[in-house]
C-alpha cells in the first residue's frame, strides 16, 4: 500500500457518520489529577487497568472510530494480555498516538506558550507506526486576554503544527491538528471568535506553505465559547459563533472537524455538538474528540476497583452513544441522557 493509500484508508476509517474519537492520551500529570479526583493513585498498574477497561467496552466501536493513546498505553497489554492497538483494531477502532512533548513559555512573548517535540519526530513516528498507530495528534494552545495571544505566538504555533502535519503525512500517518484556544479567562464569546479566526487563518496558511494534504488531515479545534469566568452561552449561541468563524477560514477540503471539549462538562459538550449539527448545511463532518467529557463518568464509576469494570464500561458506552446522537443533531437532552 502506498503512503497516499494509507492516508486515504485511515481518513475513511476515522471520519465516519455518527462516530467520534476518544482522547485517552492524558499525560502522566494530567491523569494523576483525574485519578486523584476519584480517590485513586496514578501508577502504571492503575493506568493500565483503567485504560484497558474503557478500551474493552463492548460495542465501543459502534460510536468511536479512533482512540488517541499516550505512548505508555500504545506499548501496553490489556488486562487480557492483548496488545492495546490490536484490541482496538478488533473493535474496528483505529489506534492513534499523541506525539507532542508538552509546552512551555514562548521566548520574548510573555504569557504565550509553544509546543515541543519536532526533534526526532520522524523516528518516533516510525516506531509508533510499527506498534500499530495509524494517526497522530499534536496540540498547541493559545491563551486569551485583551492582548494575548500575540501574533508571534499565533504564527509560531501555526508553523509548528504545519511542520508536524507534513512529517506525519510523509510517513502515511494521518495528522490531527489541534490548535486549542483556551477557555480560561473572563473574555466574551466575541473575543473568543476573534482569536479563533486569527488562529485558524494562520494555521491554514502554514498548512498550505508546507503542502499538507487537507483531504488527509483532521482538525481538532475548540468550540467558540466565552471564558469560563464569564458565564455560559447557550448551545445555539456557541454553534452560531463557531460556525460563523469556521465558514470563513476552514477550507471545505478538510473532511472532519473533531471538536475538543476544552473544560466543558460532559453534558455541555454534547449539547453544544448537537447544536452545531442542527444548524443546517456545512461542508465538513462535525464530530467530537473528547477526553474528560467522555471519560469522567467512567472514572467515577470505576474508582480504582476492578469489580466496577462493568459500571465503568456502561458509563463510557452511554457518553459515546449520546455524542453519537449529537453528531447528527438527534440528541434530545437530559430526558434522553437519563435513559
What confidence score (pLDDT) does residue 242 get? 98
Segment 1-32, tens digit of pLDDT: 899 999 999 999 999 999 999 999 999 999 99
Where does the pLDDT of residue 337 fall: very low under 50, low under 70, confident under 90, or very high at 90 and above? low
169 touches 153 (CB < 8 A): no
Catalytic residue from among 26, 71, 159, 178: 178
What is the residue range of 216's domain?
A: 3-337
Which cell numbers in the block locate residue 286?
Answer: 462535525
Mean of the per-residue pLDDT values of the chain: 96
Distance separating alpha carbons of residues 17 and 311, to the nearest angstrom: 27
Rg of the chain, C-alpha, whole Å: 19
- In CATH, what number is assigned to the domain containing residue 244? 3.20.20.70
Where does the pLDDT of residue 231 fall: very low under 50, low under 70, confident under 90, or very high at 90 and above? confident
Query: Is a pLDDT exceeding 80 seen at residue 261?
Result: yes
Which cell numbers in the block locate residue 149?
Answer: 495571544
126 included as an active-site residue:
no
To 5 degrees, how large is the angle CA 120–CA 121–CA 124?
A: 90
98 touches 70 (CB < 8 A): yes
What confidence score (pLDDT) does residue 103 get? 96
2 class by beta-carbon count within 10 Å (0-12 exposed, 13-18 middle, 19+ buried): exposed
Q: Considering its fold, how many domains does the chain have in total? A: 1
What confidence score (pLDDT) does residue 335 get? 53
Q: Where are the alpha helices (DSSP H) in 232-285?
A: 235-249, 266-276
Query: Is a pLDDT exceeding 60 seen at residue 338?
Result: no
220 included as an active-site residue:
yes
Catalytic residue from among 98, 137, 220, 317: 220
Query: Is a pLDDT exceeding 70 seen at residue 334?
Result: no
273 touches 29 (CB < 8 A): no
DSSP state of 185: S
Q: Where are the alpha helices (DSSP H) in 41-146?
A: 44-55, 71-74, 84-90, 121-131
What confidence score (pLDDT) does residue 339 get? 61
pLDDT average, residue stretch 297-324: 98
Closest CA to 62 of 95, 25, 93: 93
Where does the pLDDT of residue 100 fall: very low under 50, low under 70, confident under 90, or very high at 90 and above? very high
Segment 128-139, tens digit of pLDDT: 999 999 999 999
Distance separating alpha carbons of residues 314 and 339, to the nearest angstrom: 12
Where does the pLDDT of residue 234 fall: very low under 50, low under 70, confident under 90, or very high at 90 and above? very high
Which cell numbers in the block locate residue 299?
Answer: 472514572
Contacts of 338 (CB under 8 A, 6+ apart): none
Segment 46-64, tens digit of pLDDT: 999 999 999 999 999 999 9
Amino acid at each position: 500500500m502506498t503512503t497516499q493509500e494509507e492516508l486515504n484508508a485511515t481518513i475513511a476509517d476515522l471520519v465516519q457518520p455518527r462516530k467520534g474519537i476518544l482522547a485517552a492520551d492524558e499525560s502522566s500529570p494530567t491523569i494523576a489529577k483525574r485519578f486523584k479526583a476519584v480517590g485513586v493513585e496514578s501508577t502504571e498498574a492503575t493506568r493500565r487497568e483503567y485504560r484497558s477497561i474503557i478500551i474493552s467496552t463492548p460495542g465501543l466501536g459502534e460510536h468511536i472510530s479512533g482512540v488517541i493513546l499516550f505512548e505508555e498505553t500504545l506499548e501496553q497489554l490489556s488486562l487480557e494480555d492483548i496488545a492495546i492497538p490490536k484490541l482496538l483494531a478488533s473493535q474496528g477502532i483505529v489506534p492513534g498516538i499523541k506525539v507532542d512533548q508538552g509546552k512551555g513559555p514562548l521566548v520574548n512573548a510573555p504569557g504565550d506558550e509553544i509546543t515541543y517535540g519536532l526533534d526526532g519526530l520522524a523516528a518516533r513516528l516510525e516506531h509508533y507506526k510499527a506498534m500499530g498507530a495509524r494517526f497522530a495528534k499534536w496540540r498547541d494552545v493559545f491563551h486569551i486576554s485583551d492582548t494575548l495571544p500575540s501574533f508571534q505566538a499565533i504564527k509560531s504555533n501555526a508553523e509548528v503544527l504545519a511542520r508536524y502535519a507534513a512529517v506525519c503525512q510523509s510517513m502515511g500517518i494521518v495528522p490531527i491538528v489541534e490548535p486549542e484556544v483556551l477557555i480560561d479567562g473572563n473574555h466574551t464569546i466575541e473575543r473568543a471568535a476573534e482569536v479563533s479566526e486569527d488562529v485558524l487563518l494562520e494555521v491554514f496558511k502554514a498548512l498550505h506553505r508546507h503542502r499538507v494534504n487537507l483531504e488527509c488531515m483532521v482538525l481538532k479545534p475548540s468550540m467558540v465559547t466565552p471564558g469560563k469566568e464569564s458565564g455560559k452561552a447557550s448551545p445555539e449561541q456557541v454553534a452560531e459563533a463557531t460556525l460563523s468563524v469556521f465558514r470563513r477560514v476552514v477550507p471545505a477540503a478538510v473532511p472532519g472537524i473533531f471538536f475538543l471539549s476544552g473544560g466543558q462538562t460532559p453534558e455541555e459538550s454534547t449539547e453544544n455538538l448537537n447544536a452545531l449539527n442542527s444548524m443546517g448545511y456545512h461542508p465538513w463532518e462535525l464530530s467530537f474528540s473528547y477526553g474528560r467529557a467522555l471519560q469522567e463518568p467512567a472514572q467515577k464509576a470505576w474508582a480504582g476497583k476492578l469489580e466496577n469494570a462493568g459500571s465503568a464500561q456502561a458509563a463510557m458506552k452511554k457518553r459515546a452513544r449520546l455524542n453519537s446522537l449529537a453528531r447528527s443533531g438527534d440528541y434530545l437532552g437530559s430526558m434522553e441522557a437519563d435513559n
